[in-house]
Structure 1
Amino acid sequence: MKHIFLSLALLAATPALAQVPAPAPAQSRPVLLLGGTLHVGNGTVVPDAAVAFDKGRITYAGAQSGFAQDRAAFEVIDVKGQQIYPGLILPNSTLGLTEVESIRATVDAREVGEFNPNVRSLIAYNTDSDIIPTVRTNGVLLTQVTPRGGILSGQSSVVQLDAWNWQDAQVRADDGLHLNWPAMIIKTSPTDEPAVLERREKNRQEQLRQLESLLQEASAYRQQPAGRRENLRLTSLAGLFDGSKTLFIHADYGKELLEAVRFAKRLGVQKVAVVGARDAWMMLDFLKQNDVAVVLSRIHALPRREGDAYDQPFRLPSLLQQAGVRFCLDYEGDQETSGARNLAFVAGTAAGYGLSKEQALEAVTLSPARILGIDKDFGSVEAGKSATLVVSRGDLLDMRTNDVTRAWIEGRAFRLDTKQTYLRDKFRGKYGLK
């Protein structure tokens, strides 16, 4: 009987090792990182640095020679020879909304219908996703959980990636609404029938008319007296007109970007960002003049047109930087949920095509924090901000040397093991590998 119970206990314990680790407890003792190279996230690099944090907030970040506090009061961690970075921020993501992209039952990123401004992605966010730990191991510690589908997909929210539930995870709830701009109808083939194109154009114009009517109604609804029966759809849009929410417009082609931004500005939307924006290089002055932020997608892609330079997608971040356009990088595309772990390497590509290493790092740390409205607490390693940071043995943006050894979210040191690391260790043991 002893052997039977022991076998059952081992069987029960083994799968548990491959499950999502439990969230880390709150920071109980001040921590001091010594000797590493600090990449602040705003372009500053500090060799031989010290970073101290207590109760989840950074109390010192700078040269080790300038740290004057009693080290005996800290848990001192020697990170000499390693690199200290702010936690990466992933905008425009379905992380936590999608588990297996090919299995519809595990996808909770879209709602039925075309206009769903009241849909909140936050309440569908699954903190027990098996994918989340695999993303954290490459330094991604926050994400903007974003709905998909329809014309007005709904509201996104910013979450941190170590929590028991969506309530604990939220960093900024309902930060913006996501609009999939109806594609322009153009003739792409000699066989396109005029009647078909005309019908599609009429349908597009009707969609734009409905969208304009909804936004005008929402703007007027804000002026109604208190005590009225609440309309959730119109209430959810109110933040677009007072600047408390951003309208994220998903579009790629230059004419669509121009049309969409002008449409939003004409209707009184205060904050506009474009997502995707692969033709942003054609309209740099327009984006700068209208203070439109860019959430740039698919720089790991072929050029859109035969006449474009072969490296045009790779160089686009550099062009935006030179033009003074606010931008950040995301990982939208094929296998966007599971592939989100590669966000750092997208930034690394941008660093190879015009951006400096620190500018590329900023594009996945402080820049998205500013665009998402969370830069007061996140995006850089500075005193007073959240202790959300990672330590890597090598360059975090280089897939050849990226090796995250430690990470903290709000001062909590969470485990870096995943289902993949469990399987790796399991089969290394089987074959006697180290």
Structure 2
Amino acid sequence: MMRKKFGLLMLSLLMVCTVLSNVAPASAATKKIQVYLDGKVMSFSISPEIKNGVTFVQFRPLFEAFNYTVAYNNAAKRINANNGSTKIQLTVGQKSAYIDGMKTSLSAAPYITKGSTLVPLRFVAEATGYDVKWNQQNKTIHISTGIADSKVKAQVAEFFKKQQTAENERSLAKAMQLIHPDAPYYEEIKEEYRDQFLSKAKVVYSNVNNIEAYGDDIYATVTRTRSYISGPFFWDSVETYEVNLMKMPNGTLRQYDLYYEDYYYAAEDLIGTQVQVPADTEKAIMQTVNNQYKGFNEKNTALLLSSMDPSSLLYEMMQAMTDEGLLNAINFDMSAKFMSVIKYTGNTAILYAEETDKILKFDTESLYYLVKNKEGNWLIYDTVDISSVEDEFKYDVLS
């Protein structure tokens, strides 16, 4: 009898274990969805729900956390929310909403449960512009407002410090370690760094601000100042751009993309400067630039190239264009309305010119960097167009 009782007890235990094992997945399936706002868990009186594959969240506490004032019209079952710059309106049972008066479709209609209105999660992203991510495995919702905490700001500052060091050391390996391997311009920037590191420069990254974080995507604006020291000449410049950094699996940041906001040449500050230049030297410098115009106008390739330094990239580019017959396809009538030498060192000079073309009907402002060769001839080494923004869409001969 004892053996039978033991057998029944074991059978009962096995049955209980079987029932419990069947209950466990049901418990996991009903796991409460958690919402995180900038990494901090939010508290709701009504938990987020999933209906027909659509995730719904409680509207009022979420948008109040975004500093919206929420008002409810009970008769119309309409919600109005306003944060001073954005107005949102939606109605229970309707698959549409209004953001600043513009109608937008909802994936599902809002509904009321236990006295609270729940709206599709996707609407949160559309209405606020915030980054919203749903983690199916962990049943979590992560909302990023873009506000970067002190840790992210410090990490961004450290990133640009490393970039500054890599560029000053002219280390291609270190510089490329900071570029995301999937960056759309990866090969282009590698080639650009190779060219850049042929010259010695002082590089300074400063004014890191407007830092925004959206999950693994971080945006910041930064100013880079490059000052020439030695090697192949380049124009001292001050660049301001927005950088898109991405967080790697190991937590480090890599540059994925950048968008120029402003590009400024330091030589522009010299415009209007009166410099002491021997009269015959000034005349020779201006004659070189005039020979360039004449070469363009008369389609005289030899004269055009004779005005340029054979060791310069400008010469190489112009020779390639003339070899392909590109310059012969366009008629020019170029001349300078005004010229002035704004920097002179004895063997180098910078000339500012206000130019016009009567055929193409455009005006430009240009800077020319000229060098004196062993024979004493002045040659154009490089030139940049510094025309104002309203002229930037006009035809540029060197484009």
> Normalised by the size of structure 1, how large is the TM-score?
0.24
Is the strand fraction higher in 1 or 2? Answer: 2
> Normalised by the size of structure 2, how large is the TM-score?
0.25
Q: Which has the higher contact order (CA 8 A, sep 6+)?
A: 1
- Structure with max Cα Rg: 2
